[in-house]
A and B are shown apart, each in its own frame.
Chain A
Amino acid sequence: MHVTSPVREPLIQGGKTYADVTEDICRQVEGAPTKEWKIAFGISLIVLAYGSCCLAWTWWEGLGVWGLNKTVGWAWDITNFVWWVGIGHAGTLISAILLLFRQKWRTSINRAAEAMTIFAVICAASFILMHMGRPWMAYWALPLPNVFGSLWVNFNSPLVWDVFAISTYFSVSLVFWYIGLIPDLATIRDRATSKISRFMYGTFAMGWDGSAKTWSRYEYISLILAGLSTPLVLSVHTIVSMDFATSVIPGWHTTIFPPYFVAGAIFSGFAMVQNLMLITRVVYRLEDYITLEHIETMNKVITLTGSVVGVAYITEFFIAWYSGVEYEYYAFFNRMTGPYWWAYWAMMTCNVISPQLFWSRKLRRSITFTFFISVVVNIGMWFERFVIIVTSLHRDYIPSSWAMFSPTRYDIGDYIFSFGLFFTLFLLFSKYLPVVNMAEVKAVIRSTSANLPKNIAGVAKVRQQGTAEPAFNKDSE
């Protein structure tokens, strides 16, 4: 038996019943696309089309269309890759780690956050393919017995680890997401009026009937998948950071990278979840499901991870000086005061200072402010990767090979491509699939909204009246 304190605000507001949850969430799936959705989808498609043209030209012409030079051989491509992979960490964090920690507030945001994860990883993978220059040779990264001289891939290389990490992360996240979707697809199937949608949702619901046996196995595998995904999500960004950390470039060769990258990933991922959820909750009228409590809790996570990132920046800087290695020290000093000083200070301001504003309760409960800071955080995190990659490379050991990097329209266009892809996929998801996990929300609704005094004042009133004890809520767990 699980008892929730009446002092806590209910997770789901508006005194919803089970049927209300089904109605509220299925409404947008069953209805015709709204005008807002059509406009947003149209814009995304235009952006995607423009990006696709740039991408097609990049592949047709070769990587020479980017602003890369002999010194700066990695720039926006890897910056964008790391940025998108980082964003893709929040979904699994919310659904897996918060499941293990029994954080029930995750239930109304985990579906959309996981979808975001999957789409962000797709965007990240597109940059891997892009930076290969010849994407049709991408299978060379796989350990295939080849006819080119029976030489295998180098399993000592973090770039090969990355191939395994990203593909495992993508496929396991997809499976986790899909398993969670099955009960909800069954709900939509059972409500469907048209033959086509009954067939489509029925196919993907795979004959789910919600029997006690199925549910108990479902819960069991969800728990194991969460247990597997937790170290997996941490390993992915660890391995991404090793792409840099195992090299001997000053500024990259740092043991602090794995935890620092993971914290940064969660930081930017939560910011992106905030951006998407703040819009989704208004457009789909989900204010009762994604409440101020949810927004505030996510802001607290942003502040925590932002602080970890801040500590990492300062530690890194201190160690660069304390190590006594001249090149290491110069790499960091150059970041701060060299020609890319503006990128460094943009990163510092956006990532270290801005999340600290959330110490104010008023600010972290303000929707406009949250949205603004989330955008700022994502800009900051993009600059972090840019600073790490470009400023570490642009001043080589010999001053004659010092160079600057400036993006061409194809660098920018390929970045725009990823936005078009991301928002197109997210909009399709938000129209055709339930954005909130109905089954999980129904499971927490008892302990959160039925028979509960509205807030603390309500509890006090019940006590004063001397009637029964305030309604402690029990759910069977």
Chain B
Amino acid sequence: MAELTGKYLVGVYDDDDTVLHAVPRLRKAGVKIQEVYSPFPIHGMDDALGHPRTRIGIAAFMFGVTGCCVALTLMIWTMGIDWPMIVGGKDPISIPNYIPITFELTVLFTAFGMVITFFISNGLSPAAHNYQRFDVRSTDNKFVMAIDLGRNTMSAEDISRALKDSGAEEVNIRQF
């Protein structure tokens, strides 16, 4: 996660529907929203915020293809080329017998590759103790909207009023 600096307005909502409906209203009114933090996923929130669709699926597919190739290469090379072995009268390179391991390694590479990509793209790491929190209750029962005052042309009072109108129960200021 990129380091956030500057002054932020923090709107605190107590309902996921309220915050979901507040987002398009505020954006229409010209407020640039930095991010919304919630204790559980709110469906449609990334669309409402205008976040681009995640491309993690493409990465996952690439990792899967890698796993599949690694498995087949390993087995064909060891069993067929490095030390050709005839087992049970079968051809040294007998693809049907390789399917189970190919499948397992495809899954293994996809899962691990995708999860590591997920950690990197979200800046998640065991050392991340000093991440910025706008409101500590956003992992419990509150839905928190962060607005970067530096990126907005509207005045803090106007935004604050708009947040209150959209259903925020508290509006706080945070400085990083």
Q: Report which A residues bind B (CB closer than 8 A).
A: 17-19, 22, 143, 150-158, 160-161, 164-165, 168, 171-172, 175-176, 179, 182-183, 186-187, 189-191, 199, 202-204, 206-221, 224-225, 228, 231-232, 235, 239, 242, 438-440, 442-443, 446, 475-477
Contacts and interface: CB of A to CB of B under 8 A. Distances in A.
B83 interface: yes
Nearest to A225: B111
Contacts of B35: 211-213
A207 B125 contact: yes
B78 A19 contact: no
B45 A216 contact: yes
B69 interface: no
Contact of A172 (B40, B45, B97, B107): B107
Contacts of A204: 126
Interface residues of B, number: 66
B40 A443 contact: yes
B114 to A, nearest CB: 6
A165 B104 contact: yes
A210 to B, nearest CB: 5
Nearest to B34: A211
Interface of B: 1, 16-17, 20, 35-46, 49, 51, 54, 56-57, 60, 74-75, 78-79, 82-83, 85, 87-88, 90, 94, 97-98, 100-101, 103-105, 107-108, 110-112, 114-115, 118-119, 121-126, 128-129, 131-133, 136-141
A477 B78 CA distance: 49
A438 B38 CA distance: 13
A186 B40 CA distance: 12
A477 to B, nearest CB: 5
B104 A186 contact: no
17 contacts: A17-B141, A18-B141, A143-B78, A152-B78, A154-B87, A155-B75, A155-B97, A155-B101, A168-B104, A183-B40, A187-B139, A207-B125, A212-B49, A215-B40, A217-B122, A220-B54, A228-B111
B42 A476 contact: yes
Interface centre among A168, A199, A232, A239 (most CB of B within 10 A): A168
A187 B40 CA distance: 11
Contact of B128 (A156, A207, A214, A476): A207
A161 B133 CA distance: 46
Contacts of B94: 156
Contacts of A212: 35-38, 42, 45-46, 49, 51
Given A150-B83, A164-B100, A207-B125, A175 B115 contact: yes
Contacts of B36: 211-212
B115 to A, nearest CB: 5
A176 B118 CA distance: 13
